[in-house]
Amino acid sequence: MTTPLPDGQGRFGEFGGRYAPETLMPALLKLEDAFQSAWADPTFHEELGELLRTFVGRPTPVYRADRLSTQLGLNLLLKREDLAHTGAHKINNTMGQALLTRRMGKPRIIAETGAGQHGVATATVCSLLGMECAVYMGVKDIERQALNVYRMELLGAKVIPVTSGAATLKDAVSEAMRDWVSTVEDTHYIIGSVVGPHPYPWMVRELQKVIGEELIVQLDGSSLARTPADVIVACVGGGSNSIGVFHPYLDEDVELVGVEAAGHGLETKEHGASLVAGSPGVLHGAETYMLQDDEGQVREAHSISAGLDYPGVGPEHAYFKEAGLARYVSVTDSEALEAFALLSETEGIIPALESAHAIAWVLREAESLAGKTVVVNLSGRGDKDVDQVKALNG
pLDDT tens for 155-191 read 999 999 999 999 998 999 999 999 999 999 999 999 9
273 and 124 in one domain? no
- Enumerate the β-bridge partners of residue 235: 259
342 and 215 in one domain? yes
Does the annotation count 90 as an active-site position?
yes
Domain boundary residue, one of 179, 205, 231: 205
Give the domain range for residue 176: 11-51+90-205
Q: How far is CA 181 from the centre of its chain?
A: 24
On whether residue 270 sits in a domain, the answer given is: yes
- The one catalytic residue in 112, 287, 316, 335 is 112
Does the annotation count 164 as an active-site position?
no
Whether residue 115 contacts residue 122, with contact meaning beta carbons closer than 8 Å, is answered with no
357 and 250 in one domain? yes
Angle subtended by helix axes 117-129 and 90-104, to nearest 10: 40
340 and 302 in one domain? yes
77 and 100 in one domain? no
195 and 118 in one domain? yes
- The one catalytic residue in 140, 347, 379, 384 is 379
Per DSSP, 31 falls in state H
Domain boundary residue, one of 165, 188, 205: 205
Instruction: Say how far apart CA 262 and CA 291 lie, in whole Å.
Output: 12
pTM beyond 0.75, yes or no: yes
Quickly list DSSP for 233-246. EEE-SS-HHHHHHH
Residue 65 class from Cβ within 10 Å (0-12 exposed, 13-18 middle, 19+ buried)? buried
Quickly list DSSP for 311-368. SB--HHHHHHHHHTSSEEEEEEHHHHHHHHHHHHHHHS--B-HHHHHHHHHHHHTTTT
223 and 170 in one domain? no
The Cβ of residue 220 has, within 10 Å, a number of other Cβ atoms equal to: 9
What's 258's domain CATH number? 3.40.50.1100
Does the annotation count 106 as an active-site position?
no
- The one catalytic residue in 79, 90, 106, 140 is 90
Give CA angle at 264 (349, 244), nearest 5°: 50
Instruction: Say how far apart CA 310 and CA 15 lie, in whole Å.
Output: 18
Please enumerate in sequence order all residues whose Cβ is within 8 A of that of 199, keeping only pairs 6 or more positions apart, or say none: 10, 28, 31, 32, 35
Quickly list DSSP for 168-179. SHHHHHHHHHHH
Q: Is 16 helix (H, G, I), strand (E, B) or coil?
A: strand
Could you list the pLDDT tens digit for every one of the 394 residues in the chain?
A: 566 689 999 999 999 999 999 999 999 999 999 999 999 999 999 999 999 999 999 999 999 999 999 999 999 999 999 999 999 999 999 999 999 999 999 999 999 998 899 999 999 999 999 999 999 999 999 998 899 999 999 999 999 999 999 999 899 999 999 999 999 999 999 999 999 999 999 999 999 999 999 999 999 876 665 567 999 999 999 999 999 999 999 999 999 999 999 999 999 999 999 999 999 999 999 999 999 999 999 999 999 998 999 999 999 999 999 999 999 999 999 999 999 999 999 999 999 999 999 999 999 999 999 999 999 999 999 999 999 999 998 7
Domain count across the chain: 2
Please enumerate in sequence order all residues whose Cβ is within 8 A of that of 206, keeping only pairs 6 or more positions apart, or say none: 39, 96
